[in-house]
Amino acid sequence: MYRKELTNSTPNKRYDIIGDIHGHADALEKLLEKLGYKKYQGVYKHVTNKAIFLGDFIDRGPNQRRVLDLVMPMVNQGYAMSVMGNHEFNAISYATLDQAGQPLRKHSVKNNKQHSAFLEAYPLAEERQVIIDWFKTLPLYIETESIRVVHANWNDRAIQILDKYLDNNQRLKDDAYDRASAKESELYHAVETVLKGPEVSLPGGVSFSDNDGIVRTKARVNWWVPNESLLEEKLQLGSELKNAQNLKTMALDDGVNYDSKAKPLFVGHYWLKDQIPKPLSGNSVCVDYSIAKSGKLVAYQWQGEEVLNESQFVW
């Protein structure tokens, strides 16, 4: 299937790719200024570079509104681009009703808690809808002639499925959100893959608690780890499962890894905690270093290199 690639790159192809912000406006302003962005008529821009945000602007942090007040004008005026994060998708689904008048994302205790900071920042439904409508303008992925950007995972099969439901700017069509929220649909699983990463079901009876205390019966796959690595290195598991014998027979899909010869790929989402940021692999970088959990807000300054390296990280 033909896929349109964006061509609105800056002349010297310099991108500042910024990780998940989660309401931390102070950190965002400091990072933008460190990267060389200056305010012109109240909007941050750079003389030569363009920012690319990885999404997840909202939830968890203290300054949801101010983050969006900073980011939205940058994107709307062409000084930045952004992909959608899973938290923006969740917000859209939380605010969107299905044909039976029920929200696509349930207003459960867990979901209400996760979403509370955003709801408190925008208590008026009319004003909140303006933000939801803007979230809908964010593409699910960005692909230029030289790089790829997606919130969590570039998976060729998932991208092919998505393309059937996206417009020419890689935005999910309005009438696709119902299907994207239906767990039995191919679109649901494609959206889950690109916004949250690929998962594998654990053997019967095996589960673990994640960092938020939620019991999981599926494990995220570290798609950047070489296929020949130990299974324990390929999966994100609770510490209690690291040496579980009943995991030894599990097999992973051959297509889960990102091709080592593909374009440089930039993602967020994964709550990394390394003291010094570094690439996931020679052609993949994660810039989410847990700002919402006492970590740091990180950017990668891409200047055209095909092999990604530690020296281009800024925080």
Q: What's the pTM value of the predicted model, to 2 decimals?
A: 0.90
3-state secondary structure the chain: CCCCCCCCCCCCCCEEEECCCCCCHHHHHHHHHHCCCEEECCEEECCCCEEEECCCCCCCCCCHHHHHHHHHHHHHCCCEEECCCHHHHHHHHHHCECCCCCECCCCCHHHHHHHHHHHHHCCCHHHHHHHHHHHCCCCCEEECCCCEEECCCCCHHHHHHHHCCECCCCCECHHHHHHHCCCCCHHHHHHHHHHHCCEEECCCCCCEECCCCCEECEEEECCCCCCCCCHHHHEECCHHHCCCHHHCCCCCCHHHCCCCCCCCEEECCCCCCCCCCCCCECCEEECEECHHHCCEECEEEECCCCCCCHHHEEC
Q: For the domain 15-189+262-314, what is the CATH code?
A: 3.60.21.10
Contacts (Cβ under 8 Å, ≥6 apart) of 112: none
Is residue 241 a contact partner of residue 208, using CB atoms and an 8 Å limit? Answer: yes
> In sequence order, what are the beta bridge partners of 211?
none
Q: How many residues does the chain have?
A: 315
How close are the terminal C-alpha atoms of the chain, in Å?
A: 38
Tens-of-pLDDT digits for all 315 residues of the chain?
334 444 444 445 799 999 999 999 999 999 999 999 999 999 999 999 999 999 999 998 899 999 999 999 999 999 999 999 999 999 999 999 988 999 999 999 988 988 999 999 999 999 999 999 999 999 999 999 999 999 999 999 999 999 999 999 999 999 999 999 999 999 999 999 999 998 888 877 777 777 667 777 788 888 898 876 666 677 877 665 655 555 665 666 666 889 989 999 999 999 998 789 999 999 999 999 999 998 999 999 999 999 999 999 999
Residue 213: the pLDDT is 73
Where exactly are the structural domains of the chain?
15-189+262-314, 199-252
Question: How far is 135 from 115, CA to CA, in rounded Å?
Answer: 15
Residue 5: the pLDDT is 47
